[in-house]
Amino acid sequence: MFDILIKNGMVIDGVGSKAVLSDVGIKDGKILAIGENLKDGGRQVLDAAGLVVSPGFIDPHTHFDAQLLWDGAAKPALEHGVTSIIPGNCSLSLAPLKAEDRKTLIGMFQQIEELPPAAFTDAFEWTWETFSGYRAAIEGTLSVNVAPLVGHSVIRLWVMGADAQQRAARPEEISAMQDLLRECLNAGAVGLSTSFVDVDENARPVPSRFAQFQELDALCAVLGEFGRMLQIVPEFYDTDITIARIDQLAELSLKHKIPTTLSPVFDNRQSPNNVPRTLARIDEQMARGARVWPQMQTRPIDISFSLLRPSLFFARLPSWVKILRLPVTERISALRDPVTADKLVADAGEDGGERLMGRLIVRGGGEAPEHLVGRTLGDIAAERGEVPARALITLSLENDLEIAFLAANGGHDSTDRIGPMLANPLVHIGASDGGAHLTSFSTYGDTGYLFSEFVRKSGALTLEHAVQKITSEPAEIWGLKDRGILKTGYAADVVIFDPLTIDRGIERPVFDMPGGGMRYVRDSIGVDTVVVNGQIAWAKGAYTNAQTGQICELA
């Protein structure tokens, strides 16, 4: 008898095969049988008539490192069908990390990933310093599977202390980093992440950016001992630099026989040649045998923000960030101060912020006056006889900072262009940033959006191809053993969903972060049941108590 028998579903195996009407039998956490009309019966029988039964989805770019310590389901990722996640991207992980460096790391997470400090101080005890210690801290309470990266910045911090953000490493320090990385890989790290763009809360480049290429090469030699992944954040705003990074990755991949990935890669009308040129170079390097996977996310970046808290929107305006970090009372005083306000307006650009802020839209749902909702800041500013940056300040003050704005269609801005790119065999669907940027946008539901926007609406991918792109392909790219395919003997990570309705819900604020912190989330639509390692983790709109998530075994 099976533990779970899924009857009458349209089974999509994850490798691109056409959907077939079949049953799936699960026992002891594994797929035991797939076939028509399985007879053995099951302790739990799920009727999947009219629904798709597919492998669980894999999200290769997340920042759930801290959240996993109080929420082993990485909510709401799991209810969208995500059964395996990769945290530790962008050079940042919670281990290895000495106690004295925790504050430094929290500052970087706060700046880069928009995670509130309370997420690191209110919700868990730091009981570890080593990578194996972090693994032990999350194991046992996981509902999703986790394949954690180790961050280059924290490896540098461990070995070099404050000098990690000052200088190149000496040979003996590089050797120590190699030993530390090897220790992390032996403890189950899926690879190393590094960043070439990020800065800390003081606008200082993160430690990984001070590394010479020789240091990265030395670390990749260790990755090569295990055949594991190097993830980088390239200068995605510049095609020439991105191509230079692709060439560096290709060199490292060929030399050390490792897979590499860069994320994110964006396409928009302002730089229409970016992705075509990037993919052309990837094609050339892949043809040489290099493994360089560009990650593209399915959704556009729609940043919502108010002056109540810092936002990614102000990433290139340090004077604004500085003011937004003040306590609310002081912040309001500063914004009311004419000298400070003049400086903020000046820093927004010589055009008074027209280019940067003029197309912002006043967002509904908060305290915004109804007559302003849906209008652009540029229009409102013109009506008030102000430049947009000034109007942003005055409107916010008039509404006790409760008025929210939407910067829509950052990153991607065209479904017609993005669909074929996502379908391209060279493109790795990812870069969701799951669990990060909490107060700017929801990082959940990219998988549902893949099906609603690019399968049903544009038809850029078939249902089977879309499933393949977020199951077997990431499992193979990252070397996740026995996952990503519905096949006997493989892990029973299964999603049952309605292909006609699967989608992401509307973006909405919730206040469920430690310390009552806010984040934007999206509910899942059309996902019926999620099974992780043979147990139902989410069904019919509710989480179960299953904690069968694992640290992924690697090929």
Partner 1 sequence: MTLSQQRRFTTPEPDETLDSLAARARPDLDLATAIELIRGWNLHIFLMRRPRGLLLGGDVVFIEPPLI
Binding site for partner 1 (CB under 8 A): 167-168, 194, 196, 203, 205, 208-213, 215-216, 235, 238, 240-241, 243-245, 247-248, 280-281, 284-285, 287-288, 316, 318
Tell me the two tokens of residue 282.
């990837």
What minimum distance in Å lies between the beta carbon of 320 and partner 1? 14
- Residue placing its CB nearer to partner 1 in the complex, 80 or 156: 156
Q: Using an 8 Å Cβ cutoff, are 37 and 43 in contact? A: no
DSSP symbols for 15-51:
SSPPPEEEEEEEETTEEEEEETT--S-EEEEEE-TTS
Smallest CA-to-CA distance from 16 within 485, 455, 426 is with: 485
- Residue placing its CB nearer to partner 1 in the complex, 176 or 408: 176
* HEC assignment per residue over 212-279: CHHHHHHHHHHHHHHCCEEEEECCCCCHHHHHHHHHHHHHHHHHHCCCEEECCCCCCCCCCCHHHHHH
- Residue placing its CB nearer to partner 1 in the complex, 219 or 361: 219
What minimum distance in Å lies between the beta carbon of 494 and partner 1? 40
Tell me the two tokens of residue 240.
């020439």
What minimum distance in Å lies between the beta carbon of 199 and partner 1? 8
For the chain, give percent helix, strand, coil, nearest 5: 35, 20, 40
- Residue placing its CB nearer to partner 1 in the complex, 205 or 420: 205
What minimum distance in Å lies between the beta carbon of 208 and partner 1? 7
What minimum distance in Å lies between the beta carbon of 425 and partner 1? 16
Q: Give the integer Cα–Cα distance in Å for 339 and 336.
A: 9
- Residue placing its CB nearer to partner 1 in the complex, 244 or 518: 244
Distance set, CA 27 to CA 42, 46, 53, 243, 271 (Å)? 9, 14, 16, 47, 50
What minimum distance in Å lies between the beta carbon of 275 and partner 1? 16
- Residue placing its CB nearer to partner 1 in the complex, 50 or 425: 425
- Residue placing its CB nearer to partner 1 in the complex, 70 or 237: 237
Tell me the two tokens of residue 302.
């729609």
Q: How far apart are the first and last CA of the chain?
A: 30
- Residue placing its CB nearer to partner 1 in the complex, 233 or 546: 233
- Residue placing its CB nearer to partner 1 in the complex, 43 or 288: 288
Q: Using an 8 Å Cβ cutoff, are 356 and 383 in contact? A: no
Counts of helices then strands in the chain (DSSP H, E): 18, 25
Q: Using an 8 Å Cβ cutoff, are 466 and 455 in contact? A: yes
* HEC assignment per residue over 69-87: HCCCCCCCCHHHCEEEECC
What minimum distance in Å lies between the beta carbon of 290 and partner 1? 10
CA angle 453, 459, 464 (to 5 degrees): 95
| 3-class SS of residue 149 | strand
What minimum distance in Å lies between the beta carbon of 257 and partner 1? 18
- Residue placing its CB nearer to partner 1 in the complex, 232 or 401: 232
Q: What is the DSSP letter of 541?
A: T
- Residue placing its CB nearer to partner 1 in the complex, 194 or 472: 194
Tell me the two tokens of residue 29.
């956490």
Tell me the two tokens of residue 530.
């999620």
What minimum distance in Å lies between the beta carbon of 203 and partner 1? 6
Tell me which residue has tokens 């604004």.
Answer: 320
- Residue placing its CB nearer to partner 1 in the complex, 194 or 306: 194
Helices assigned H by DSSP within 385-462? 388-398, 415-423, 446-449
CA 469 to chain CA centroid, nearest Å = 16
Tell me the two tokens of residue 98.
């000495």
What minimum distance in Å lies between the beta carbon of 218 and partner 1? 13
Smallest CA-to-CA distance from 155 within 114, 95, 111, 214 is with: 95
**Residue 519 forms beta bridges with which residues?**
510
What minimum distance in Å lies between the beta carbon of 253 and partner 1? 14
The interaxial angle of helices 152-160 and 213-226, nearest 10 deg, is 110
Q: Using an 8 Å Cβ cutoff, are 474 and 231 in contact? A: no
- Residue placing its CB nearer to partner 1 in the complex, 290 or 551: 290
What minimum distance in Å lies between the beta carbon of 318 and partner 1? 7
- Residue placing its CB nearer to partner 1 in the complex, 39 or 316: 316
Q: Give the integer Cα–Cα distance in Å for 201 and 221.
A: 31
What minimum distance in Å lies between the beta carbon of 284 and partner 1? 5
What minimum distance in Å lies between the beta carbon of 555 and partner 1? 27
